[in-house]
Chains A and B, each alone.
Chain A
Amino acid sequence: MKRIIASAVILLCLFSSALYAANPIHIDIQARSFKKLKVAMPAFWGPADLAGQVWDVCARDLAITGVFSLIEPKGYIHPGPLRRIEAGTLKDWSLIGADYVIAGEISRQGTLAAFTVQVVEIATSKILLSTTYTTSADSAYLTVHTFMDAMMERALGLDGIFSSKIVAIQKVGEKKQLYSSWCDGTGGKAIKGGGDLMLNPAWSPDGRKIAFVSYWKNNPDLYILDLATYKVGMISSEKGINSTPSFDATGTKIVCTLSRDGNPEIYQLGLDGKNSLRLTDSWATDTSPSLAPDGKSMVFCSSRAGAPQIYILDMPSKKVERISFTGTYNTEPVFSPKGDLIAFTHLAEDRRYHVAIIRPDGSKMKVLAGTGRGDESPTFSPDGRLVAFGSSDGNIYITDIFDTMTVQITKGGGFSEPSWSGLIK
């Protein structure tokens, strides 16, 4: 991982006396009364190409946070480019309804790019953040990730998410490969070719390994890619299907689907495929397991009631309880890393597939709007607030559990089955 070389040069006392450093305020974003915080962000100062690129990433990342909304720049009294916010102009920003104003300047220093950014909180007339981030010029988006995490933390006391990645399957021609990018779609690249069918990628919580399915040996088998060495190891190649790997919170074992004993059942395996433990026993199809972060329960999909529905397995007692009762097709459940929610794919009343969320006790099911064109394969952000999914147009999108936005993070189509990593240090 590239990291930001020299970060956080805090610029203090550079501005007129009306602007002070602000203390973070804490707002309950889950409260019913929560409205997105409005952000004005005039064009950044600096070389047009680089400044434009960085501004674009900032705009997309603001939307992805799910808590900020960008005021259209064409409505600004001061459209910019603006490298700093003058105290005398605060009223003008207040006039257009801004809660925060972001001003930025990009400069190139050899192969490096420096992004100096200021955020002013209009309600308090205080500087929320004023920092210079430096990184190599060809990955200037990294400065945005660090800035945006800092802004979420300072403005709302939220954990940052932008140092996490998403892996997906990318179809190029007739071939499939593993494709990974930062969670906002920046820095995307193919990381492992298959030449064959590849399916069901799953990121280990520490972001160092990816488990997936490939047909390299003419059977759907489970493999693991070590991102430090780019070496691929075999997890399981039993007769029948070996599919839907999902790591436990410690990253030392997986749960998955094997049909070696006659029909698809759920098993727990070590990363070398050893110490296999069968977790389900039913005539029906059991698949798509996902463990709760405390490892005490597991959610999975089963057709034991005729149609596929969502079930919870209590690990100590092996007791199984059905939790989805709406609709006739509920599959691919995943536990939130916080353990408070489960996301799954639901055939909704509009006869289209949507991502839905539900509590582990089966209450408060909510169907997310998404693209409305057929969404599947949900995966949670490390803070459990956002959900990425694949849509029928072949692109990956991010929405939030409050259903307030849908942001596209890939271009060109061919993408499916996203899996979100934990925070990558």
Chain B
Amino acid sequence: MTKSPSPLLDARVVLQRGDLSLDVEIVVERGETVAIMGPNGAGKTTLLYALLGWLPLQSGWVLLDNEIFEAPGQDQVTSTQDRNLGMVFQDGLLFPHLNVVENISFGAEKEADNHDLMERLDVLPLSEKYPAELSAGQTQRVALARTLAARPKMVFLDEPLASIDLTARIDARNSIRSALEQSLAGALLVTHDPTDAFALAQKVLVLEEGRVTQFGTPDQIRSQPKSRWVADLMGWNVFHGVGHGSSVTLADGTQLATSESELSGETMVMISPSSVALFLERPGGSPRNSWLCRIQRVEHLDSLARISLSGPLDLYADITSDAADELDLTPGRDLWVSIKATEVRANTILGRRH
């Protein structure tokens, strides 16, 4: 078999639905899971529905495995039932009048043997039960089995873990991961939870107000957030100010040095809590981003300590718990805070750079 260089899914979705104006280009490589993240109302589910052929495109195209479902100048639009795209809904949406086996075999070939699949997802013992008798976690596993039994070329999962409580979530996440690894050519996963996105996906697409604001690997999303929403999600410190050249002036006059050189106008500044350095004495060599701050709160999360600081900048700093103990960090103490200019990410909001 020759390896095809073309992606599994190649689509551009342009449509208007209520207040939402969606314009998204998305490419999923073979064997890849792409997580779609974004605030409520960003158009995540709408995007899935459009790709499924459930909502009509105003313009754009949808290609799956080189097969054209819709494209400009093509009258014929492939209907949902012929797209061979699987969908797992947030609430499972099992057919209430069919038992588990009947649900799973609904979309499967008549003679298909779903025994292995059901065993893998641990739903065999539930065979004769009806959806009303299942827990949220069981429902989601059966829903996944029902979708996979139809042997789709690609699977869409819309918040598959949202209805499952935290204790059952790790199991559910594992069963999704193994299912994705074993049965699928590719997947799209809509989720609110960065843990799910980073655990299950190789790429993350951030959707805000109908537009893609960032597309990259989980590491890129974590280390280089491109929007306020992502920065907040990752627990970054976010400030607004006015940029001029390489520095940013915040509302209270505090100056932040960055590694940028062409900032102008309103600018968003993002600083990772892990790049905030703490010192008992004023650091030598007079680094530019250095202030005396007071400790407000110290929270220990596993081996990490999150320090809330107030001063010219209200900041979070993440240091190891050992280091926190060594520095004897207690609320009320004053500390020197230092941030390298290269660790300060700045994006001009108005009058974009370049």
Query: Are A and B part of the same complex?
Result: no
Residues of chain B whose beta carbon lies under 8 Å from any beta carbon of chain A: none
Residues of chain A whose beta carbon lies under 8 Å from any beta carbon of chain B: none
